Structures are given as structure tokens and as C-alpha cells.
Amino acid sequence: MSLPGQLYRLQQLDLELQRQQDLINGINEQLNKNEGLIEAESELTSRKQRLAEVEKRQKVVEWALEDLQEKTNHLSKKLYGGAIKNPKELVNLEQQAKDLRSKLGSKENDLLELMTQVETMQGEVKASAEELEQLSQEWHQKQENLKQRKSAAESKLAKLSPDRQELAQQISREALQLYEQIRLTKQEPVAKVEQGRCQGCRITLPTSQWQRAKAGDLVQCSSCNRILYLE
Ligand SMILES: [Zn+2]
């Protein structure tokens, strides 16, 4: 293989190495990107917290109701037990009983409202948990798929690297340095010549120039500086 041919082959290997590396970088980026899942997790947590708060309020109302119920029972026994004969005291007790019934009714309404809220919120927590489950299954599958693609790209890289090294060892230091220097600014430092034109910049080259390149000399395009290569 001529020197320009070797450099062209080196470029092919470098481009393929870069492609595989870009692929791996892109996969790594995707592997770190699971905002949807994190968002669903935090939504479930906050829904659970809101539910717990309302359940706590429900408990407080239930205790207050039990307390009121007990007081009512106690008062009923007094009222209808027959032990109290004093009419004024009885009227007083009747009024107390009436107040208690009204408090009971209002607390019962509070409880009903809270129970309805709890039921709605339990539904929301369930929906959130299901969504999270679905998302984490999808994420798990996606992760598996990404990891497989990543390991395929990594094994390609592992095969290409020694090929590149072996080829580079066959190329003179001077030519390699020129190649690397052009590569700093151009992704493809070697350009093919087709029908007398540099395929890097499309300029028509002097015949003598591409003929030297064809003979295997290290010739650079006078316009774009790329190393010229003819098959
Ligand atoms: Zn050119």
C-alpha cells in the first residue's frame, strides 16, 4: 500500500473509532437521563404525603366524634335515668344534649368530607404508583437495550484500536505528524482525487500534483492542505 493509501486507511479507522466513541458518549448521556422516572417518583412521594396528612386529620375528627358520642351517651343516661327530678336541671340538660347533637352532626359532616377526600387521594396515589411502575419497567428495558448497544460499540473500539496502532507503526513519523496536524482542524485530513479534483475542497488540481500523489508521494492540496490520495 502506498503512503497516501496507508494514510487514507488510517483516516477510515479514525473515523470509525470516532463514530463508535460518539455512539458510546450518546448512550452514556441517555443512561444518565431519566427525568421522567425521577419526576414520577417525586409525584408519588408528595401524593403519599398529602394523603397521610388528610388521614391524620380524619383520625383527629374520629377521636373527637368518639368523645362527643361518649358525652352524649352519658348525658342521655342522666336525662332519662330518672335520677334527676329538678325541672330546671332537666331543661339545662336538654339544652346540653341539643348542643352535643349539633356538634355531633357537624363533626359527622367533617368526617364524611375527609373520607371522600381520602378516597380520592388513595385513587391518585394508586394511579401514581402504577405510572411509576410502568415507567420503571420501560426504563429498565431501555437501559438493557442501551447497555447492549454500548457493549457492542465498546468491543468494536477494542478491535479497531490495535488495528490503528499496527497501521500507524508502518507509517513514517513525518507523515503521521502531518496527518495529525491537519486533523486538528479537519475531520478528514486525507482527500481522494477524482477526475483531477480534490474531493476535500473540489478544486481542480494541476496534473503534476496528482500524478505525484498517484506515484505515492506525500502531496498536499494547494487549496485545502489535505493529503492527496489516488487509488
Ligand atoms: Zn483540496
- pLDDT given for residue 83 in this prediction: 87
pLDDT digits (tens, 9 = 90+) for 56-83: 999 999 999 999 999 999 999 988 888 8
Ligand 1 centre to CA of 220 (Å) is: 8
Q: Cα–Cα–Cα angle for 168, 174, 177, nearest 5°? A: 70
Q: Cell match 325541672: residue?
A: 87
> Any idea which fold 34-169 has?
Helix Hairpins (1.10.287)
Distance 166 CA to ligand 1 centre (A): 28
Radius of gyration of the chain (CA): 42
Handedness of CA 16, 202, 230, 227 (dihedral sign): negative
Query: pLDDT class for 3, splitting at 50, 70, 90?
Result: very high
What predicted TM-score, i.e. pTM, was given to this entire model?
Answer: 0.73
In this prediction, residue 53 carries a pLDDT of 98
The residue-averaged pLDDT of 90-96 equals: 93
pLDDT digits (tens, 9 = 90+) for 191-227: 999 999 999 999 999 999 999 999 999 999 999 999 9
- The residue count of the chain comes to 231
Give me ligand 1 centre to Cα 223, in Å.
5
> Does residue 84 have a pLDDT over 90?
no
* Domain spans in the chain, listed from the N-terminal domain onward: 34-169, 174-229
Using the mean position of ligand 1's atoms as its centre, give its distance from the Cα of residue 5 in Å: 17
% of the chain at pLDDT higher than 70:
100
What's the 156 CA to ligand 1 centre distance in angstroms?
Answer: 31
Answer yes or no: are the C-beta atoms of 177 and 218 closer than 8 Å. Answer: no
- How much distance in Å is there from the Cα of 194 to the middle of ligand 1? 11
DSSP letter string over 4-29?
Answer: HHHHHHHHHHHHHHHHHHHHHHHHHH
pLDDT band for position 112 (cuts 50, 70, 90): very high
CA–centroid distance, residue 152 to ligand 1 (Å): 35
Banded model confidence at residue 231, pLDDT cuts 50, 70, 90: confident
